[in-house]
Copies of this chain bind each other. A is one copy, B any other.
Amino acid sequence: METPARPGTDVGHELRTALDGLDLVEDPDVLSSLAHDDGEWAEVGRPLGALRARSSEEVGRAVRACAELGVPVVTRGAGTGLSGGANATENCLLLDLSRMNRILEIDAENLRAIVQPGVINDELTKELAEHGLWYPPDPASSPWSTLGGNAATNAGGLCCLKYGVTRDYVLGMRAVMGGPAGPYGTEVRLGRATAKGVAGYDLAGLLVGSEGTLGVITELTLRLRPLPRENPRTVVGAFGSLVEAGRAVALCTGRGLRPAALELLDRSCMRAVEDWKHLGIEPDTAALLLARVDTPGDAGTAEATELATAFTDGGAAWTEQSTDATEAEALFAARRLAYPALERLGPVLTEDVCVPQSAVPDMLARVEEIGERHQARIATIAHAGDGNLHPLLLAPPDDEQAKRAAQAAFEDILSAALELGGTVTGEHGVGLLKREGMERELGPEVCAVQDAVKQALDPLNLFNPTKVVDPAQA
C-alpha cells in the first residue's frame, strides 16, 4: 500500500495555501486540545493543523488538498471516543466536523431525519421529542458526542439491548471518499432513504464503525421511531457481590426478558458519582442492577415484575419497582455520569469487552480476580443485558506503578473475554488501543480481508492511518 508521499517542501505552508479562506487552526494550545480523544494512554501525534469545516464542500476541498500533499486526514467530532481513534497522527490534518451541526430535515411521515455529522446526539433527541419522534442509540456520551462520531464508531448505548446500535439506524449517508469513487475529495451517497433496500453491497453499513478509515461522513440519513408514550418503569436490584448481579443478568436473558436497558454499576462507580453530583444515591451494596421497562400497559407491569423476580432469584438483597421519573432519572444519571465522575479522579483506562450473556457472571469473577492479581483498582459499569462490560481501570495521576498495573490488567481482561467467546470491543471501537486485541480476536486471515478493503477504498492510506487496520504494516 502506498503511504501518502511526503514532499521535502514545507507541507504546512502548502496546506495553508490550499485551504486559504477556511478556518484552519494552527494555535498550538488549541491544536493540542483537538489532537486527542478520551482514549487514555493512546499515542498522540502532532497535527499540522485543524480545519473547522463548515460544509461538505470544505471537507471535499480539504481531502483533495491532503491527497495532493500527502497529508493524512484524521476526522473528529466531539472527541469523546475511548480508543484513541480520533487521535492525531504525526503531521496530519485534523478535520473537525463539530461545526457541521445542522439538523437538515425531520420527516415524521417517513420516520427519518437527515443531519450533518456534527449534530450532538442529545440535541437531536430534544428536537425530535417535539415532533413525537425518537432516535434510540444513546451512548453514555450522548450529551457531548456527535452523530457523525457515533456512526463512525457504530456507538452502542443503554437502550441498544432492546433497540439496537447505531448501524441499525443509519439508512444512508453522504461521504467524501477517494480511490475507486473518483479523485480524493469526491462526495458519494451510500445506502438509501427507504425502510428497506438491497441494491448492491451494504457500503453504508461498512462505513459505519470504520472509524474514519474509509472516508469522511458528511451527512447521515437516520431511521427514527415514534416516541414512547408512557413513562418507563424502573426496576432496581441491589446485590452483595458483582457475580450475583451477573447471575441475575444471565437469568433475565435466559428467561427471554428484554427490557429497554439493563445496566450494572458497582460500588466504586456509584460512590464517585455521589461524591461529585450529590444525587442522593447511597449504595450500601456491592452492585446495583438498573432495568428500564418501556413496554406499555399491563404487559409492562408484568415485565417489571418478572425482572424483579429474576433479580431476586439471582441473589438480590432487595429489589424495587418504580414509575417515579425523578428517582429513575437519578439512577440512570448515575450510570451516565460514572465515567466522567471517575475521570475526575485521574486517568481511566476503559475496557469494553462483550461476552455471551450466560458468561457475564464468569467474566465479572475474572475481572475481580485480575484486579486483585495485578493490584489494579477497577470500577465496573456495564450494559449488562448485552454482556457488554466496562471495567474501568483507575490510576492516580503520575503513579507509574498503578499505570503499569492497569495496563497489565487491561490485557488480561481482553484475554479472559476472548476465552469466554467474547469480543475485545463491544461498542467503543478499535482505534489504537484495541488494535492488538482485535488481531488476536479475528486472526490474520480476517485482518488481511480488512486490509484489502482498506487498500481498495483508500489506496493512498489517507484516512485515519494506523487506526483499526494498518495495511502499511502488513
Chain A interface residues (CB < 8 Å from chain B): 107-112, 132-133, 153-154, 156, 160-161, 164-165, 167-168, 177, 179-182, 186, 188-190, 192-203, 205-206, 208-210, 225-227, 250, 253-254, 256-258, 295-300, 302, 354-358, 383, 386-388, 421-430, 434, 437-438, 441-443, 445-453, 455-457, 468-469
B299 touches A192 (CB 8 A): no
CB distance from A61 to the nearest CB of B (A): 18
Which residue, of A195, A296, A297, has the highest number of chain B Cβ atoms within 10 A? A195
B388 touches A196 (CB 8 A): yes
Question: Once bound together, how far apart are the Cα atoms of A206 and B199, in whole Å?
Answer: 13
Residues of B within 8 A of A208 (CB): 202
Residues of B within 8 A of A209 (CB): 198, 201-202
- Specify the chain B residue showing the minimal Cβ separation from A165: B196
Checking B206, B296, B434 against A299 with a beta-carbon cut-off of 8 angstroms, the contacting residue is B296
B299 touches A199 (CB 8 A): no
Question: Once bound together, how far apart are the Cα atoms of A201 and B451, in whole Å?
Answer: 10
A199 touches B356 (CB 8 A): no
Sample of 12 A–B contacts (CB below 8 Å): A167-B202, A180-B448, A189-B446, A194-B388, A194-B423, A196-B388, A196-B426, A197-B423, A199-B424, A200-B447, A201-B450, A295-B296
B422 touches A200 (CB 8 A): no
Residues of B within 8 A of A179 (CB): 449, 452
CB distance from A118 to the nearest CB of B (A): 21
* A109-B253, A168-B164, A198-B429 known; A455+B453 contact, CB < 8 A: no
Residues of B within 8 A of A188 (CB): 443, 445-446, 449
- Specify the chain B residue showing the minimal Cβ separation from A441: B199
Question: Once bound together, how far apart are the Cα atoms of A161 and B197, in whole Å?
Answer: 13
* A201-B206, A209-B202 known; A195+B388 contact, CB < 8 A: yes
B226 touches A177 (CB 8 A): no
Residues of B within 8 A of A257 (CB): 226
Question: Once bound together, how far apart are the Cα atoms of A296 and B198, in whole Å?
Answer: 32
- Specify the chain B residue showing the minimal Cβ separation from A109: B358
- Specify the chain B residue showing the minimal Cβ separation from A434: B199
Residues of B within 8 A of A453 (CB): 201, 203, 206, 453, 456-457
Instruction: Known pairs A194-B387, A200-B469, A201-B453; list 12 more (Cβ under 8 Å).
Output: A108-B254, A109-B250, A154-B202, A156-B196, A167-B202, A180-B448, A188-B446, A189-B443, A194-B421, A194-B423, A198-B209, A202-B205
